[in-house]
Structures are given as C-alpha cells and as structure tokens.
C-alpha cells in the first residue's frame, strides 16, 4: 500500500494517471468511516492499494470570487468550517447554513465540499444547495477537463458521473440576488444526518425560485413544477422589498414539492414523515424568502 500526499494539482494528475484506481482521500470523514468499519477495502480483494491525499494541494483548498461572472468557485478541498465563516457566509448564505449543520466542529474542520459531491449521499448537506443554486462541477482526468451541472453529476445513491481516473477540482456556485436558505430535519439539533432537507434559493432580478430536496430520493431532487408554481404565486411587482407570497400560495407550492419527493422507509424515518417534513420545510422557506403575510 502507498499513501501519497502531492502538493500541486499537476502532481495529483500525474499520480492519478499512473494509478487510475487509486483511492482519493480528502477530509476522510466518509472514507475513514468505511475503512475503520472494514467496508472499504484498500489493497484487499484485488482493489488498488494506493491512496492519493488531496489536502495539501493549494489549487484544491482555495476559493475565488469572480464578480464579473457573478460566481464563487470553491476548490473541492474547501472545508465546511471555511464555508460557514466569512467571507463565504455572506456570499453563499444557504451553503453556509448547510455547512453549519454538517456533523460537529471536528467534522467541519476536515470534511470538504468536494467530498460531499464525491460521496453523493442522498443526505449530503451541501448538495440540495448546490442543486438549487445551479452549481457546476469541474472534473479533471486523463482526457482533460470537463464541466457538468451538479444535477447531471449526481446520478444516484452514492453514484456520480465521475469517471475512474478523474477528480473533482472545484465547484462553481452562482451568486444569486435574493433570499436563500437551507432547512434540515433530524432526530436532534447537532451531529445529525438529515432525515429530510430542503433548499430554497431565489433570484429576484430574474424572478426565479429554485427548490431542491435532500434525503427524500436516490439523489437530490429539483422540484421544477413547484418552482414554476412559486414563481407564479409570488407578487414580484409589489413595492415591498423583498417580494411577497401568500401563506396559501406557499402551502400550495410546498405540497407540490412534497409530491415531487420520492422518499422511502428506512432506519432513519418513514416515507410518510419525510413527505410531511418536506411540505413543512418548503412552506417555511418560501415564507422566509417572500415574507408578506408573516414576518421573516
């Protein structure tokens, strides 16, 4: 077995080209759980026994803000503890809210946005926000670089479009102009894996409402019908800032979002509870985004 800790992206690409089956190690908060429990074989049963660590690669652990294109590009190795703090907290408020709900401070000090994408758990806290904001995943492999919409990148339960030999270099998140928020239901407040989660992201200039759900399907679900209904239900022309929605309007859209969810019964909850939780969360988020009848 080998453990390599390259210090440049070029060295990662070289190492990965030599060992395309190598295991990529970012924060370790998912990988090491599997290793500790013996669920992940490294160098056993014929699997590659090479590990390439990504935590010392400056190109992956940094982020850039591009005001001209209105985007923030997060290196895949940017950790949750950085996303929950300034300056990213103000730039990406919903992602910062999601970041603050990831595990514990110890987990947020290690876990990364790229790891969230690569693991692609239906309960990945960052993923509904990335889906709602229309983020783009940047991949780099032996055949060069390619970009995928995050909703195309996530293909199923812990399945992604990432090919062997490819790594996630970064994710670009559009800066929106309007309220955005993340909501999560679990069995307690801290240290919890989502039973159900939701993100509502709005862009007032384009009169756009995006709704994405986590933990209620094989992967993150964008609720396009509920989004359309919300865009029609919002009073964009009111002189109030921000625009407003009625409680009935928000409830109607929330029910549509719940209808778009595809939850299952499992060890964490039931499908019925999750569907109900989606309706409650989306209604609350819409009323926070468009407070008319209730204060934000």
Contacts with other proteins by CB under 8 A lie at 1-5, 25, 27-29, 31-33, 35-37, 42-43, 51, 53, 55, 103-107, 109-110, 189-191
Q: Cα separation of 32 and 9, whole Å? A: 23
Question: Between 39 and 239, whose beta carbon lies closer to other proteins?
Answer: 39
Q: Considering the complex, what minimum distance in angstroms separates the CB of residue 31 from other proteins?
A: 8
For the chain, what is the total number of helices (H) and then of strands (E)? 13, 14
Q: Return the residue matching tokens 């909501």.
A: 183
Question: Between 5 and 149, whose beta carbon lies closer to other proteins?
Answer: 5
Question: Between 22 and 132, whose beta carbon lies closer to other proteins?
Answer: 22
Question: Between 109 and 208, whose beta carbon lies closer to other proteins?
Answer: 109
Q: What angle do CA 222, 227, 231 make, to 5 degrees?
A: 160
Question: Between 5 and 9, whose beta carbon lies closer to other proteins?
Answer: 5
Structure tokens at 295: 């204060």
Peptide bond into 265 cis (omega under 30): no
Q: Considering the complex, what minimum distance in angstroms separates the CB of residue 28 from other proteins?
A: 5
Q: Which residues pair with 139 in a beta bridge?
A: 146, 168
Q: Residue 70: left (phi > 0), alpha (psi -120 to 50), or beta? A: left
Q: Considering the complex, what minimum distance in angstroms separates the CB of residue 83 from other proteins?
A: 15
């Amino acid at each position: 077995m080998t453990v390599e800790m390259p210090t440049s992206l070029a060295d990662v690409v070289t190492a990965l080209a030599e060992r395309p089956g190598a295991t990529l190690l970012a924060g370790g908060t998912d990988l090491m759980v599997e290793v500790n429990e013996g669920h992940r074989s490294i160098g056993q049963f014929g699997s590659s026994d090479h590990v390439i660590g990504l935590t010392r690669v400056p190109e992956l652990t940094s982020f850039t803000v591009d005001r001209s294109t209105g985007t923030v590009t997060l290196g895949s190795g940017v950790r949750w503890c950085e996303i929950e703090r300034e300056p990213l907290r103000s730039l990406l408020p919903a992602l910062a809210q999601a970041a603050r709900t990831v595990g514990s401070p110890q987990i947020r000090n290690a876990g990364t946005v790229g790891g969230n994408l690569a693991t692609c758990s239906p309960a990945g806290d960052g993923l509904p926000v990335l889906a709602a904001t229309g983020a783009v995943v940047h991949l780099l492999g032996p055949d060069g670089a390619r970009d995928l919409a995050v909703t195309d990148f996530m293909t199923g339960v812990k399945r992604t479009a990432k090919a062997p030999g490819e790594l996630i270099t970064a994710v670009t998140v559009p800066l929106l102009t309007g309220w955005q928020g993340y909501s999560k239901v679990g069995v307690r407040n801290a240290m919890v894996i989502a039973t159900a989660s939701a993100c509502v992201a709005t862009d007032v200039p384009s009169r756009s409402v995006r709704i994405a759900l986590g933990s209620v399907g094989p992967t993150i679900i964008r609720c396009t019908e509920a989004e359309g209904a919300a865009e029609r239900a919002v009073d964009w022309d009111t002189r109030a800032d921000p625009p407003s929605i009625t409680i009935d309007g928000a409830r109607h859209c929330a029910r549509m979002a719940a209808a778009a969810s595809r939850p299952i019964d499992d060890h964490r909850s039931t499908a019925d509870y999750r569907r109900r939780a989606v309706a409650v969360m989306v209604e609350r988020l819409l009323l926070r985004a468009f407070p008319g009848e209730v204060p934000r």
